[in-house]
Structure 1
């Protein structure tokens, strides 16, 4: 066999082999399509069965609706009969009920208004009572505090007058200082504060200027010395501090 014939024979064999592959592929695709069609048909059969069940349920529902409609028709007929049986006495009774309901609502409204007025009056009385109690307490505390201030002043003067150089004066000095400290601690608990700060601006609400002097050391209108301490009670002035105030500004 020549080489040309041998080549033709190989080509023929290759084509036959490719044809068989193609034919086999076609058969496999055909089988696969058939299997899918079978599955689809089975699904369709299931769907049809479900639809049949749904139709049966719908038929049952329709039957129930028909029964309900029949009962509604009967009920409507009974209601029409009852409405026809309502007499003039029934209408008058309804009117009487409406009048009584109106009276009841009016009475309830009046009671609510009276209750609100009573509550408001009680609240006003309570508020006035609280204010009176607070004023009484503050007034009593203020009077008591004013009575204490001269005692504190006398203690401070006594401490200033004691000769601190003498040994025999030390026990008395310590006793007076302890007494003064106890006084100040006690009044502080009740909201009484001392006005005793120097080198601050003069405040007419807290200070009473007893003297004004020229000063090169302080700015004008500064508190440079305290002649007598002042006191406040819960923020209210009991007694202004008597102070010496600077005139001229620091140059």
Structure 2
């Protein structure tokens, strides 16, 4: 699922990019059929459909508005009926973050919009999947957030990250007795999210992807950033039985940019 909500552009370059890229879908290793919903990029969905067979299964796509709870629930019901249930839900929706304007100067409606987008998308996708998972007594609900301290110019982004994580913790405590786990991957940026990344409208300038990449690498203990394959591998681990005792928690995939 992706987010096409408009965001206010500002001439400001923060030190960190929002993690990942729109439409980043984790690689799923177990054999089987996989549904990969997406919202903003119909051409990407069509490409998946044309080449939908993976090394270990078949991938299917659909374009679903993550902000439309009825549409999400209808789609998830269709998937559950076809596949016999829902095992994993991974939300990688973007929220239209606004950066570069101090909170003192940011209109309340501008600040509130990304938070509302995040809450709406997370509630819609989690609720739809959780209903089916709880009925079966198992399942994993996953998402991805940025991770790191706030700094001037970050605008709505860090607040949105924390909002999503708070929602995840609340879902975890409510769904745990039903056998449903909730976890998330924390990243401070990915290689693909910096080099040649498209402008998703959050206020980043197009200046110097390679220069920004080197800056972010220098801040990481490992002197590199994770790539999207690593994010997918972490998500696949969290979704697997190997992580069956992990809930209400995150995997730190910042390459040491942030120490727990």
TM-score normalised by L of structure 2: 0.22
TM-score normalised by L of structure 1: 0.23
Q: Which has the higher contact order (CA 8 A, sep 6+)?
A: 2
Q: Which has the higher helix share?
A: 1
Higher-Rg structure is 1
